[in-house]
Structure 1
Amino acid sequence: MTSLSQWIEDKNQDEWWIFIKRLSANDTGLTGGNGVGIYVPKAVVAKALPSISSTCCLNPDCSLTARITSHGLPEQTLRGIYYNNRHFEGSGSRNEHRLTRWNTDFRNSPAQDPENTGALAIFAFHVPHLGRDSDFLDIWICKGLEEEEFVESKIGEVIPGSSLFERGDRLFAGFAAGLDKEPSHVAIPPVWEDRFPTGEEIIAYLPTVFRFGKTMPDDLIIERRDNEYKLFRQIEELHILHRVQQGFSSVDEFMQAANSVSNRRKSRSGRSLEIHLEHLFRQFGLEQFSSQCRTEGNKRPDFIFPSCADYHDPAYPEENLRMLAVKTTCKDRWRQVLNEAKRVEQIHLFTLQEGVSPHQFAEMKDENVKLVVPKPLHTKYPDEVRGQLMTLNDFIVEAKDIR
């Protein structure tokens, strides 16, 4: 952990711009799609590689010296490219930026390893002169849960499909916000101007200010989470933005504000997904469940069906019991749920992770873990895995049928 800590400390400066994401199956080449290499949002390219952010020519590119420090690899030359053929009639429909040629200077790059699907990756672009391309890219791909938790303790949870991008001295202070979600601009209760609402309050308030166009739980869980985050961002800016804009009179004052933001974000992410699921269970007629039920010892699985009382009733048939664990990402975390309910033979695990490798999926099956994934995310899984995933709607229907 010392090496990661020192690496982050070295990047905690104004000349480093930090892009953080979880590697998707498309990033690592697991799904075999048209995309090659790591997807990079437009906002990152505009700051770190502005020379390729152009539609004056077809697929502009540049070279970039890089190093994956986390794995002790030597420097290599990557290619930054803007696949922009959508802007050229008859050329295609692509409109995305990627970092490619990971396996050109040497083979088996961890950035293209399917087993790293879902891993937390930090891309640090050295930008000594704004308006010019980065002269160096330093990369850290977390090698396990301990490293990921260390990073997220500083910046908050990194949700699959989202990303963070900010100057190093700001991001590692906990002030960075997601690239892909702007704050909402809806009416909020006046009391929230003086008191930051709880996660339950924010989620319960969503239907009063947002119109949800989806009708199935698999789509709704994603739509509701997106809108919750936008509302959270709006409330957060109301409480903290003016302090950031005014500046701080001391380092202690800055750290106090940064810790407050970071702790609030971590608190939100810890329970948000479970609260959304509780609301959706009831909305779709699944009333019989217990959350945070104590099973054996200090074990507390996220959900037990049909109830905690049934779980502790020796006469209740074990084949009718269900357990649903909830993990935003399941890589390196799925093993944590294996012994949470001894009476339940098959564990259901709900996740938002965008793909797992066939090898990791086989390990889950061997341990009787069944993945429950929102249907819109199924296409992000490899073909041999996709047909064995369970949708959220399927799980709700099954749990409702328990007698």
Structure 2
Amino acid sequence: MDFKDWIYEIANESWRVYIKRLSANDTGASGGHQVGIYFPKSVLGIIFPSLNKDGAINPDVAFKATVDSDSVPEQELRAIYYNQKTRNEKRITRWKSGVEYTPLQDTEKTGSLAVFAFNNKGSLDSEFMKVWVCRNIEEEAYLEERIGEVEPQVSYFERGDIIFEGLRSYGDIKTESYPAAWNEEFPSGATIINYLFESGLHRELDPDKRLVKRRDHEFDLFKLVEHHHVSPLIQKGFNDVESFIKLANSISNRRKSRSGRSLELHLENIFREEGLSQFGVQCKTEGNKKPDFLFPDCLSYHEASYPIEKLRMLAVKTTVKDRWRQILNEANRIDTSYLFTLQQGVSVNQFKEMRDENVRLVVPSPIHGSFPKSLRAELYSLSDFINETKALYA
């Protein structure tokens, strides 16, 4: 089946849709003890209400499932609530039962976008789930064009007609104060990021934890401001379909704009805070390519006499699955490419391919645990990268 046709089938009120990127813990690439896809307890509690029964010990529900992207035959899975004192979690199990292969337990699918669609039974347990694991960049691009960027550690759960019409909710809204002017005019992503930087928020943390914390904080602020601007419009209702589509497109475009350069802007601010002030952004290199960061600056890269060993490039991608090859040859004078990512793990084979192409992964230290143990020693933390780069120009 074509992916677009598949999405069309579930983009209605008959389905409840959960979307996430598969982590190394999901696929088993990290070597952890837990087997299977992580779903928040709140999500499984809505899909399978009977799991919430009072007094029942480890209640479970059997249901049918197919993975349509890979033509995996129908199988029977189990949703279970482990509710004993030593364990309090809801999980879906038996992913490998009755099938020879499933992409949901394929380590090479780590980082892929996955869509889980459960038939909507209202107050009754869902009886059927169908899944699509994006098979290439084109399918991921189509999905993110519909719903916005799906970053690692972020998931979306909503009814099919809502999630694919641009009005999906971001979930819980954390309340805090922010500049009053934002209530009058929606701030750009750069404005929110600079607010966090100029306020010195999370400055006490090391660069790795600071980056993760500020990204989360930025997202929380964005959701809060969006809620202020958009909720009254939705509650007011729409006179015609055109008005609905116009608002949905506006929301979708704003969300995409926010996520566009968010990570690069956070890194720029942290570099400066840590005294790494020598860098160029979006410098033009061979063939008009534009690496995200060049060190020490754009002019030095194009100066033939400048020592090659003192040149360094850093590419930035929230996810690297099927995208890391895009950075190859972005700066032909430099042999080793550094790639910053927030992806929660890669497979051993993917990592070997990167290493063979002289690509070095830079990953915030709090995420290192999601990578296979055999690879962690070869990962750069953000602090490692900053300190090593500063030493080049000391």
User: Normalising by structure 1, what TM-score?
Assistant: 0.94
Give distance in 2, aligned partners of 1:23 and 1:214: 32
Q: Which shows bigger deviation, 68-77 or 115-124?
A: 68-77
Distance 1:210 1:99, change over 3 A: farther
Q: Which shows bigger deviation, 227-236 or 27-36?
A: 27-36
Instruction: For residue 169 of structure 1, give the secondary structure of its aligned residue in structure 2.
Output: helix
**Partner residue, 2:335:** 345
Which structure 2 residues correspond to residues 43-192 of structure 1 after superposition, within 5 A?
43-54=42-53, 56-85=55-84, 88=85, 92=86, 94-127=87-120, 129-179=121-171, 182-192=172-182
- The answer on whether the counterparts of 2:166 and 2:251 sit within 8 Å (CA) in structure 1 is yes
Q: Which of the residues 181, 189, 193 maps onto 2:183?
A: 193
**How much has 1:209 moved relative to structure 2?**
6.7
Distance 1:341 1:53, change over 3 A: farther
**How much has 1:205 moved relative to structure 2?**
1.1
**Partner residue, 1:235:** 225
- The answer on whether the counterparts of 1:36 and 1:98 sit within 8 Å (CA) in structure 2 is no
Q: Which shows bigger deviation, 238-247 or 228-237?
A: 238-247
- The answer on whether the counterparts of 2:21 and 2:114 sit within 8 Å (CA) in structure 1 is yes
Instruction: For residue 352 of structure 2, give the secondary structure of its aligned residue in structure 1.
Output: helix
**How much has 1:42 moved relative to structure 2?**
1.9
Instruction: For residue 40 of structure 1, give the secondary structure of its aligned residue in structure 2.
Output: coil
Instruction: For residue 153 of structure 2, give the secondary structure of its aligned residue in structure 1.
Output: coil
- The answer on whether the counterparts of 1:303 and 1:325 sit within 8 Å (CA) in structure 2 is yes
Q: Which shows bigger deviation, 24-33 or 13-22?
A: 24-33
Give distance in 2, aligned partners of 1:214 and 1:133: 47
Structure 2, gaps ≥5 residues long: none
- The answer on whether the counterparts of 1:13 and 1:169 sit within 8 Å (CA) in structure 2 is yes
**Partner residue, 1:23:** 22
**Partner residue, 1:393:** 383
Q: Percent identity?
A: 50
- The answer on whether the counterparts of 2:72 and 2:99 sit within 8 Å (CA) in structure 1 is no
Instruction: For residue 252 of structure 2, give the secondary structure of its aligned residue in structure 1.
Output: helix
**How much has 1:144 moved relative to structure 2?**
1.1
Q: What letter is aligned with 1:234? A: L
**How much has 1:54 moved relative to structure 2?**
4.7
Is residue 2:259 matched to residue 1:269? yes
- The answer on whether the counterparts of 2:48 and 2:124 sit within 8 Å (CA) in structure 1 is yes
**Partner residue, 2:39:** 40
Instruction: For residue 141 of structure 2, give the secondary structure of its aligned residue in structure 1.
Output: helix
- The answer on whether the counterparts of 1:347 and 1:368 sit within 8 Å (CA) in structure 2 is yes
Give distance in 2, aligned partners of 1:255 and 1:82: 39
Q: Which of the residues 375, 378, 392 maps onto 2:365?
A: 375
Distance 1:316 1:210, change over 3 A: closer
Q: Which shows bigger deviation, 2-11 or 53-62?
A: 53-62
Give distance in 2, aligned partners of 1:151 and 1:214: 38
Instruction: For residue 2 of structure 2, give the secondary structure of its aligned residue in structure 1.
Output: helix
Distance 1:338 1:53, change over 3 A: farther
**How much has 1:52 moved relative to structure 2?**
1.6
Instruction: For residue 38 of structure 2, give the secondary structure of its aligned residue in structure 1.
Output: strand
**How much has 1:211 moved relative to structure 2?**
4.5
Which structure 2 residues correspond to residues 3-22 of structure 1 after superposition, within 5 A?
3-22=2-21
Distance 1:59 1:69, change over 3 A: same
Distance 1:82 1:36, change over 3 A: farther
Distance 1:55 1:402, change over 3 A: farther
Measured on the aligned residues, the alpha-carbon RMSD in Å equals 1.5
- The answer on whether the counterparts of 1:55 and 1:84 sit within 8 Å (CA) in structure 2 is no
**Partner residue, 1:245:** 235
**How much has 1:381 moved relative to structure 2?**
0.4
How many residues of Structure 1 are paired with residues of Structure 2 in the alignment? 393
**How much has 1:175 moved relative to structure 2?**
1.8
User: Normalising by structure 2, what TM-score?
Assistant: 0.96
**How much has 1:109 moved relative to structure 2?**
1.1
Distance 1:228 1:55, change over 3 A: farther
Q: Which shows bigger deviation, 139-148 or 94-103?
A: 94-103
**How much has 1:319 moved relative to structure 2?**
1.2
Q: What letter is aligned with 1:340? A: E
Give distance in 2, aligned partners of 1:250 and 1:44: 32
Q: What letter is aligned with 2:371? A: Y
**How much has 1:207 moved relative to structure 2?**
5.1
- The answer on whether the counterparts of 2:70 and 2:102 sit within 8 Å (CA) in structure 1 is no
**How much has 1:55 moved relative to structure 2?**
6.1
Structure 1, gaps ≥5 residues long: none
Give distance in 1, aligned partners of 2:159 and 2:199: 33
Is residue 2:287 matched to residue 1:287? no
* Offset from partner CA, 1:231-253 (integer Å, 9 cap, x none): 00011111111111222111111
* Offset from partner CA, 1:133-170 (integer Å, 9 cap, x none): 11110101001111001000000011111100001100
**How much has 1:60 moved relative to structure 2?**
2.1
Which structure 2 residues correspond to residues 296-375 of structure 1 after superposition, within 5 A?
296-375=286-365
**How much has 1:61 moved relative to structure 2?**
1.6
**How much has 1:213 moved relative to structure 2?**
7.4
Instruction: For residue 401 of structure 1, give the secondary structure of its aligned residue in structure 2.
Output: helix
